[in-house]
Amino acid sequence: MLVYQRTDSALLSAVTFAISYLPWLLGGPVLASLADRFPRHRVLIASDVTRALLVALMAVPGMPLPLLLVLLLAVSLCSPPFEAARSALMADVLHGDRYAVATALTGITAQVSQLFGFVIGGVLLVSFSPSVALLIDAATFAVSAVWLALRLQRRPAPVPEAADGVDRSLWAATASGVRLIAAAPRLRAIVGLTWVAALFVNAPEGVATPLALQVQGTIAATGLLLAANPAGTALGGLVVGRFCPPDLRDRLLAPLLALSLVGVLLAGLVPLVLDRGAASYVAVLALLFLAGVGGACSIPLNVAFVQAVPSAYRGRAFGVAGAGLAGVQGLGVVLAGLGAEALAPSTVVALCGAVGLLAVAGPLLALRRAPLPATATATATATATATATATATATATATATAGGDTAHVASVSGAEGRSGA
């Protein structure tokens, strides 16, 4: 917003926004491989301890600005190994439906934490000096490290360090993650669909400031436009992750994906129907919120990704996927800003939705045709076998106790079915 105020350039504003994706591009795939070489709980703790120390250094009064920027970049580079270890560890601990629910809750927590983080950060800056605010920030990382050290169960590294046949360098580990995704049709389809969707769904963020000026007439309206999509994603994630069974989540993938892009398309068309003002602004907010609800399609995609990646490769696979995701998000934001130099911001947004709907068709079709991984097939087979066993047991019990309490038999059958599932 500040850049747009000073330069009146949608492109420079978009480039500034895209810089936030830089850490994942610079070191994401390589640093994320640490989650496969060391015990994942140690990677989590070390990442938080490192961030606590770096932020504490930033709090030193009189720190030169170039050094502050270097420290800030170093803090950001701790995110890839932390996120890769967290995602891989969640997949190790939680399976099936529990992993999907946890993914939804994690996304909601992240969105809410970010919102409150901005508010609390503003309060701290008003109440204290920047140095004190940074020290408080450093303390939060230290508290997180202590909490993880006390509460996480110790688990061995998924890949033995420097063992025969194991990638001995982080570069080799990263390359093996790329090969893993490239060689598996289902993984290629999942990652490709995620990247293509993100390219077009997130692109409007790059023109949020000029779009706010177009539909509302004030740059101050930018904040809510940026918050609408994440808020919708939080609600959609809660509903899809918590209240939809696995088979329904899988069936909702295509409709949710379509909703996310149709919402973007319609938001861009609002200025053609409504004049600048409150009504136009509210309509755009509502449609971007609906697009965010459609973003809950990431939950079945995450589950499918975890099922298709062996545990020992999840850290590097998450790193490769995350780096590519950051890359396409940044690219989409920059391209949207470039388009807004020649077209109206709303036109750029509408084009993102329309082109996105066409672009996701190929990866979605490839995902439908790709064979299920062995883990998913085994899980489905085990569930079906358990259900059949429970049904047979219930039938035998009912036959043996003819004339008995049929309600009790039905109750036992239901309990056995739930236990088997």
pLDDT in tens, 163-177: 444 556 777 878 888
Task: Tell whether 349 is covered by a domain.
Answer: yes
pLDDT of res. 217: 76
Residue with tokens 């004030």: 218
Task: Tell whether 250 is covered by a domain.
Answer: yes
pLDDT of res. 168: 61
Task: Tell whether 391 is covered by a domain.
Answer: no
> Rounded to an integer, what distance in angstroms lies between the CA atom of residue 380 and that of residue 246?
11
Task: Tell whether 70 is covered by a domain.
Answer: yes
User: What range defines the domain where residue 337 resides?
Assistant: 2-153+184-371
Task: Tell whether 172 is covered by a domain.
Answer: no
> Rounded to an integer, what distance in angstroms lies between the CA atom of residue 154 and that of residue 175?
28
Residue length of the chain? 421
> Rounded to an integer, what distance in angstroms lies between the CA atom of residue 273 and that of residue 283?
10
pLDDT of res. 356: 95
Strand blocks (E) in 51-152: none
Number of structural domains (the chain) is 1
CATH code for the domain in which residue 101 is found: 1.20.1250.20
Burial class (CB within 10 angstroms; exposed 0-12, middle 13-18, buried 19+) of 6: exposed
Which residues have a Cβ under 8 Å from the Cβ of 420 and sit 6 or more positions away? Answer: 383, 385, 386, 387, 389, 390
Cα dihedral 47→53→54→59 (10° resolution): 150
Tell me the residue type at 392.
A
> Rounded to an integer, what distance in angstroms lies between the CA atom of residue 226 and that of residue 224?
5
Task: Tell whether 380 is covered by a domain.
Answer: no
> Rounded to an integer, what distance in angstroms lies between the CA atom of residue 399 and that of residue 394?
9
> Rounded to an integer, what distance in angstroms lies between the CA atom of residue 390 and that of residue 34?
43
CA proximity to 369, closest of 130, 190, 123: 190
> Which tokens hold the place of 131?
């140095």
Q: What is the DSSP letter of 204?
A: G
What stretches in the chain show pLDDT beneath 50? 2, 160-165, 376-421
What does the DSSP assignment read for 297-337?
Answer: GHHHHHHHHHHHS-GGGHHHHHHHHHHHHHHHHHHHHHHHH
Q: What is the DSSP letter of 157?
A: -
Distance in Å from the first CA to the final CA of the chain: 51
Q: Residue 72 CB: number of other CB atoms within 10 A? A: 14
> Rounded to an integer, what distance in angstroms lies between the CA atom of residue 417 and that of residue 392?
11
Backbone CA torsion sign across 371, 372, 378, 380: negative
Contact 88, 315 (CB under 8 A): yes
Q: What is the DSSP letter of 165?
A: T
pTM, entire model? 0.71
Alpha helices by DSSP H, 152-221: 170-183, 185-201, 208-215
List the Cα angle 284/288/294 in 5-degree steps: 150
pLDDT of res. 14: 60
CA proximity to 246, closest of 391, 104, 93, 365: 104
> Rounded to an integer, what distance in angstroms lies between the CA atom of residue 196 and that of residue 352?
11
Task: Tell whether 164 is covered by a domain.
Answer: no
Task: Tell whether 247 is covered by a domain.
Answer: yes
pLDDT of res. 16: 61
